[in-house]
Amino acid sequence: MGLEGDVLGIAGSIPGSPNSTSRSAVLVSLLTSAGADGVFDEADLRLLGETFAHECGHYLGLFHPVDFNSVTGTAAASDPLSDTPDCSTQSQCLANSSLIRNLMYSTPVVNISGEGIPQNQLTEQQRAVMNRYIAVD
């Protein structure tokens, strides 16, 4: 599967296999992360780092706290963890500061000035899921 359009990254599976397979990978698009000008500024570098951490979170077993139906804009699914906030619409989700700052939120979010909001938080249960993933070669 290639990285196309606005896709920032892809994890091979959730969780990723501890064995070498065709899906044992995390892919991150440098071109998409660099923005329209193709040059990394400070915000682009932060987005790249957050994208890599987000995709590694998937590989270690984390799902998005909420996913959306692209047609209706309503929440279509959520992770099974009880300490990640719930919401039912995109506007409700965007109003939840702790949700949109979560590393595993499904998309980058910008504030009213157009600046990216840092997404670098994990809940206690999310950290526990990642800490349980063990793969030793």
What pLDDT score does 135 carry? 67
What does each C-alpha distance from 52 to 22, 29, 89, 90, 132 come to in angstroms?
19, 9, 26, 24, 19
What ranges do the domains of the chain cover?
9-132
* pLDDT given for residue 134 in this prediction: 74
Q: Give the model's pLDDT for residue 23.
A: 82
Give the pLDDT confidence score for residue 70 in this predicted structure: 75
Q: What is the model's pLDDT at position 5? A: 53
Q: Is the pLDDT of residue 137 over 70?
A: no
CA dist 24 and 10 (Å) reads 11
> How open is the CA angle 78-57-94, to the nearest 5 degrees?
45
Question: What are 66-119's pLDDT values in tens digits?
Answer: 988 878 878 887 899 999 988 888 889 899 999 999 999 998 998 888 889 999
Bridge-partner residues for 11, per DSSP? 26
Distance CA(59)–CA(63), nearest Å, equals 9
Place of tokens 């300490």: 83
